[in-house]
Amino acid sequence: MLRSGVYNMQNVTAVTSAKGGVGKTTITAALGAMLADRGKKILLIDGNSGFRNLDIVLGVSKKLVFDMADIIRGSCNIDKAILCCERFNNLFLLPAVQNNENRLSSSVMKHLVFLLSKCFDHVIIDCPVENDFSADVIFASKVLIVVTADPVCLRVSSLISEKLESKFDVEKRLVVNRFSKKCFLKSNVISDFDEIIDFIGVQLLAIIPEDDRVKIDCGKGLVCPKTGPAANAFHEMSVRFAQMF
């Protein structure tokens, strides 16, 4: 096992959120697909042990046989567990374990991700929503915090930002997902986006508008729509993300 001091995972990004239902998995898949479409070799890791669904969004569920726990148990080689997403060249998935009791420890997960990070341009981890940070965030060099523009989500997201600031040496970016200007103005709770950014204390990466085509296409394993406001926003998100490296 490698010593912790020799780990260098500058190309590892964790996607996290403070609550469920904000579209964290969709953001992970869309970002990976857009980067792969730009010629980068991308590995997505589903960190949602016991609740995996990234394979559904990517349309590779029927090919799923092994997961990351099978690699550690020696049931298969790494290349057998990693799935190729045929609709996007250079996009790959390492599925989460089906049962939460088989979840990898922090040290084992860290070593596995380190080995994989040497084979890909970017490794993006879809982190589980938990009361405390998962092991996936600890060793990522960059963290995307996905929020929706509602007071409850913003409050708990600000706590995540504070914990990241105090405990981990990571670069943070904010993604506001499923944004509806009409609902935002109607709520009359938050005055503008500057207030959101100031409240959470994280630099904005992207605003993804509410778009029914995203839900429809994800249900078909198409990850994200080819046209429309969300598609344009996903593209801009990937461009800005690439500029962080």
CATH number for position 103:
3.40.50.300
When pLDDT is cut at 50, 70 and 90, the band that residue 194 belongs to is confident
- Is 142 within a domain? yes
- pTM score, whole prediction: 0.90
Residue 203 belongs to what domain range?
10-242
- Is 5 within a domain? no
- Is 1 within a domain? no
CA atoms within 13 A on the CB side of 118: 7
pLDDT in tens, 108-162: 888 899 999 999 999 999 987 765 555 567 778 999 999 988 877 878 888 888 8
What's residue 1's pLDDT? 33
- Is 33 within a domain? yes
pLDDT in tens, 15-51: 998 888 899 999 999 999 999 999 999 999 998 877 7
Q: Nearest to residue 81, comparing CAs of 5, 73, 179?
A: 73
- Is 177 within a domain? yes
Phi first, then psi: what are they for 175, rounded to 5°?
-120, 115
- Is 155 within a domain? yes
- Is 2 within a domain? no
* Structural domains of the chain, count: 1
When pLDDT is cut at 50, 70 and 90, the band that residue 3 belongs to is very low
What's residue 8's pLDDT? 66
- Is 123 within a domain? yes
Q: At residue 56, what is the residue type?
A: I
Residue 205 has pLDDT above 90, yes or no: yes
